[in-house]
Structure 1
């Protein structure tokens, strides 16, 4: 089946540099996606965007190029609740990938068990209104109760301005909660201000809450460096991500977000994104927790 990409869609950067930062042995890219390929795994009719193809083969080639050992593949919204492309990536990873699914209330127990066998370890609830349609919270809570029995967790994606409205729902979830991209803080507001302070309070008060300190390319106002400029771009994101890493060192994860869906303005060099890591996790101990110990404990506990 042929799909026409969303106008202005930015394809992933095909020539990433080799990172200067050497990842610790066993490092996990804990947030990435696959798109299709559309001819094999069609995109959902209800999707809000149509991406380029980004296959499992290309994802795992990037993993090896950057120096990661494993991946966590998060279901892309363009595939809706059809998890076949993500599950296919897991089953062809030789045990080196785990997955996060999107499911509806109607999902059967047999399907959940099959996904568990394939390596799925969580479900994602997306509250970013421009990306998904609203799902009633009682349905999401029912899903959370069912997947909790499998030992799965819930990944939540929201924007900082919406945290007050979502607080009660999030704090009632019966699982570990992993927040995508620090809840997308507004970097135009102060790090010690009310909005980011509420997110820090959310993590302080609820020890089941983890955070990904990923996607500086999405959060930054300053943007990437000019061609030939500094090696570590997105300077304005560093204080926010470092605050989370240093305050909650045992509950943080990092991922590339490849192939960077719905990104506007520029497409990042994934090698430069890896070189961002030592600026937010500044010691070997913090780097190992962020990239190895924490994701292994969450996604491969049987090997810890």
Structure 2
């Protein structure tokens, strides 16, 4: 991709101030930084071009929403050049940790540098628009590279992916974190095969899930802004109740590769009250679980 014009919608400029007051040390467990492209150019072979969302804008959002910590996930639009991510980590005063994108060709010294700067996970993408499922040989090589550092493995699947790759996920000898509630098709309902696969993986005790991306999953999107995402919230509530010690929550800011306009991040924060209605479960979701999983 050679064009430099964004083909992703921008995030909401002035999100709603949440009605929910989050507990101290709450963590946004899935977000990104993009550019600025003049300082941190996007990868020439990227499949999408986002708007610039530098670390300063991400931090302003977190301060506004009441999020004291965050896990920043390296975006495919930056490829394996982690300069923007490392800049965000190095200037965060310990507030941020990171997830990397690496290949079998990544030098071990680079893995050590990432770890020393605050990276604590590696992401495996299985989605066609992000390059498709890597080979088993590739995934095994990546896991060998990062294994000595105790990183978690972030798995990004959609549709039937959580079922298709369940055996591989079970085989990973590291904590596994499933992104965006596995992006299951909610038209199949909460008693469908793929939700059952996700619940079964949570029952292994070595798998966590991010209760993020409600706007991505919902089959109830309306033409009006601020869609309720009721079906996705119901799935998140089910997962939080099923495995309260192995769920974390994230904004997915600035919401790349979505259909339609970006969701209001203040609205997404308010949904936490429905996902985890009691104080103890909410504290686990927002503070205890991410602190332990990401090493804060």
What's the counterpart of residue 5 of structure 2? 5
Separation in 1 of the partners of 2:264 and 2:239?
24
What's the counterpart of residue 38 of structure 2? 39
What's the counterpart of residue 71 of structure 1? 70
What's the counterpart of residue 250 of structure 2? 255
What's the counterpart of residue 114 of structure 1? 113
Quick check: 2:202–2:246 contact (8 Å CA) kept in 1?
A: no
Which structure 1 residue ranges, 5 or more long, are not aligned?
none
What's the counterpart of residue 295 of structure 1? 290
Quick check: 2:125–2:156 contact (8 Å CA) kept in 1?
A: yes
Moved more, 116-125 or 191-200: 191-200
What's the counterpart of residue 29 of structure 2? 30
Deviations along 1:186-243, one digit per CA (max 9) or x if unpaired, are: 1111211222112211222x2110000111111111126846xxx8821111221111
Separation in 1 of the partners of 2:155 and 2:15?
29
Quick one: which of 218, 231, 236 aligns to 1:220? 218
Structure 1 runs, 4 residues or longer, greater than 6 Å off:
none
- Count of paired positions: 295
TM-score (norm 2): 0.95
Separation in 1 of the partners of 2:223 and 2:20?
18
Deviations along 1:8-61, one digit per CA (max 9) or x if unpaired, are: x31111111110000011100110000111111111112111111000000000
TM-score (norm 1): 0.93
Q: 1:134 and 1:10, CA in 2 relative to 1: closer, same or farther beyond 3 A?
A: same
Quick check: 1:160–1:196 contact (8 Å CA) kept in 2?
A: no
Q: CA RMSD in A?
A: 1.7
Separation in 1 of the partners of 2:182 and 2:83?
27
